[in-house]
Amino acid sequence: MGIFDFLKPRAPNSASVAKERLRIIVAQERAQRDAPDYLPTLRRELLEVLKKYVNVDPDAIQVKVSQEGGHELLELSVALPDKAGG
């Protein structure tokens, strides 16, 4: 142990890493629990429509529902592939 070892940043201990991972898992579970029942069907149907026009990866579509200012918002995010040769 050197004299300047106390200046080096310490790696997080396993308890703090586990605690942070648990927070993320709990947040994801809450978001899924509060999601409307129609969301998986909506996502699947949107994917079917998009595939008619664009070759899109199924994992490239994200559908989220949130509350903002007393209104329910539907957020749709689609990562489109790059144009070939463009």
Do the Cβ atoms of 63 and 43 come closer than 8 Å? yes
Residue 13 token pair: 């201990």
- Whole-angstrom CA distances from 8 to 2, 13, 16, 27 are 11, 15, 18, 32
**What are the average pLDDT values for consecutive 10-residue runs of the chain, which has 86 residues?**
68 84 85 76 89 88 83 87 64
Task: Give domain status of residue 4, yes or no.
Answer: no
What's the total number of domains in the chain?
1
Task: Give domain status of residue 65, yes or no.
Answer: yes
Query: Whole-prediction pTM value?
Result: 0.50
Q: Domain limits at 36? A: 12-78
Q: What residues contact residue 65 under an 8 Å CB cut-off, 6+ apart?
A: 35, 36, 39, 72, 73, 74, 75
Task: Give domain status of residue 30, yes or no.
Answer: yes
What local confidence, expressed as pLDDT, does residue 52 receive?
92
